[in-house]
Amino acid sequence: MNIILYLTVKEVPQVNVWLPNAITPYDVVNTEFGYYTELQYLESVKFEVYNRWGNRIFESVKIGEYWDGTYKGKECQRGLYAWKLKYKTIFEDKYYEKSGNVHLIW
């Protein structure tokens, strides 16, 4: 008796997500703070930015929506801010989480 197996190999590309450590909103190049990757590979995101007292000043679940250095329409003070990113890719049924700090420079 012979058994024949058919295998399908599914290659899952590695999705690299990175965030800069500084934002300069008035700079022509670096005007918003966000995550950078191949956006078409993301299925869902939750992106948050916090001030030094732990208050959330930015939140988005829209893919590709980034923080512009403001809170309620006003420029935030320069300094260090914390961020959290939770995302899921179209390739895997699991969430990834990243966190860190960003310097706001005016």
Within-domain flag for 5? no
pTM given for the model: 0.83
pLDDT exceeds 70 at position 27: no
Q: Per the structure, how many domains does the chain have?
A: 1
CA angle 21, 25, 30 (to 5 degrees): 55
Domain enclosing residue 51, as ranges: 22-104
Within-domain flag for 55? yes
Which positions ≥6 away from 75 have C-beta within 8 Å? 25, 69, 106
Within-domain flag for 79? yes
pLDDT exceeds 80 at position 84: yes
CATH number at residue 94: 2.60.40
Within-domain flag for 9? no
Q: What does the pLDDT look like over 43-78, one tens digit per residue?
A: 999 999 999 999 999 999 999 999 999 999 999 999
Within-domain flag for 77? yes
Q: What is the dihedral of CA 35, 36, 37, 43, to 10 degrees?
A: 30
Within-domain flag for 1? no
